[in-house]
Structure 1
Amino acid sequence: MSEESRSSTTRVFIALAPPDEAKDELARELGPAYAAYPRMRWNRIEDWHITLAFLGELPHSAVPLLREPLADLAAARGPVRLALRGGGHFDERVFWTGIDGDLEGLHRLTGEVRAVVKECGIDFPDRPLRPHLTLARTRRDDAASAVAAAEGLAAFSGRVWRADRLHLVGSDFGRGPGPIRYRDIEAWPFDGGGCGGG
């Protein structure tokens, strides 16, 4: 994609984010891994999220179409109770922590979010949800760090928390060199008392 076309698009996803207390708890648990594997590309704690739907590169004009339907969805349902649990890796490259708690509610919310996106006429890769929170990526010449870090996090069992906001997020704002950055385009509280517990 050319720089001109990239400048007219935004890489967008819809996500949940743990509260600060849960992130701080996990960050303390990761202390040894931060020290042992400094060459891994660690995500910033403030960027930790659970992706429900990755929409890819969208024209700027498409993003406003999502605001009202997602706001309505969030207003109609209750929070989801989740927890961060253990560690794992994808293809020895991506180090993550897993998600526990109301997984049925999480999958139901994901289905509702993706249905809203499709109703807005936005095409996106509708891959199966594999609930996780990405922590770091290895460099090409480092095949062992993600595996070892995942083993070190295997026994982690975090506190239960409420995912009480739905986030529409844009990534890599500025398109400059360095790690990917994320920014909320908008976020909406889950105001309903029914679906997802509370």
Structure 2
Amino acid sequence: MKSGVHDQTQPATVRVFIALAPPDHAKEELARELRPAYGTHPHMRWNRIEDWHITLAFLGELPVATVPLLRPPLAALAAARRPPSLALRGSGDFDDRVLWSGIGGDLDELRTLACDVRTAVKDCGVAFEERPFRPHLTLARARRGDHSSAGEIARGLAGFTGRRWAAERLHLVGSNFGRSSGPIHYRDIEAWPLGDGDPAGS
């Protein structure tokens, strides 16, 4: 991994990913289920509810100047795709530390969208590390040394099934990861409504 610390000419960068976001009512439904865990596990580093998202492609640190290249193909892709019908369902953890909610619904359509997003990024000449697509929504992270909290909370959420909802927008997101000592915050660089599946808009 290139640190770039020695290169004073390196352009400004932003950490970028492409995602879908559940609507407010779906997030509130899951938040109600999580409320007891907020009280019993306050030491968990909980993600802000407004930042909950389903990552389709994680691009990592990109030069700011390359971000505009992504806008036209992602806008066209969004317009040509119908909103997948999804639901927040169940829970689990990664490596006993990362607590997540699972995703149900039109998973084949979701996987196809993720594949098409990644192809569009690569066609722009933007290189990124290809990670396996595992649909989930990250909720919290346990502190180092805590190997039980994430799994305990996940077991309590295993039977959760939220109402279905349509993913309405494709989001190009930037984060402040590594730029402050506080929690990770995300902001939309741009977001495009998903369309009706007709590339010509007819």
Please confirm whether the aligned pair reaches a TM-score higher than 0.5, indicating the same fold: yes
In 2, the alpha carbon distance for the partners of 1:174 and 1:143 equals: 24
| Aligned mate of 1:115, from 110, 113, 119 | 119
Q: How does 1:1-198 map to 2 (within 5 A)?
A: 1=3, 2=5, 8-172=12-176, 175-193=179-197
Query: Could you give the per-residue CA deviations for residues 51-98 of structure 1, whole angstroms, max 9, x where no partner exists?
Result: 000000000011000001100000111101000001100000100000
Give the TM-score of the pair, scaled to structure 2.
0.92
Q: Any gaps of 5 or more consecutive residues in structure 2?
A: none
Do the aligned residues in 1 keep the contact of 2:85 with 2:165 (CA within 8 Å)? yes
Alpha-carbon distance, 1:49 to partner: 0.1
Using the size of structure 1 for normalisation, the TM-score is: 0.94
Deviation at 1:177, TM superposition (A): 1.2
Distance 1:6 1:26 in 2: 42
Aligned counterparts of 2:186 and 2:141: Cα–Cα separation in 1? 16
Give the % identical residues: 66
Structure 1 runs of 4+ with >6 Å offset: 3-7
Residues 52 and 113, structure 1, Cα contact 8 Å, conserved in 2: yes
- Residues of 2 paired with 1:78 and 1:5: CA distance? 43
Which segment is superposed worse, 167-176 or 146-155?
167-176
Q: Check the 8 A contact 1:95/1:146 in 2, yes or no.
A: yes
Over aligned residue pairs, what C-alpha RMSD do you find?
1.8
Q: Structure 1 residues 6, 20: CA separation in 2 closer, same or farther (over 3 Å shift)?
A: farther
Give the SS at the match of 1:63.
helix
Instruction: List runs of 5+ in structure 1 lacking aligned partners.
Output: none
Partner amino acid for 2:168?
A: D
Q: Distance in 1 between matches of 2:157 and 2:190?
A: 32
Paired positions, count: 195
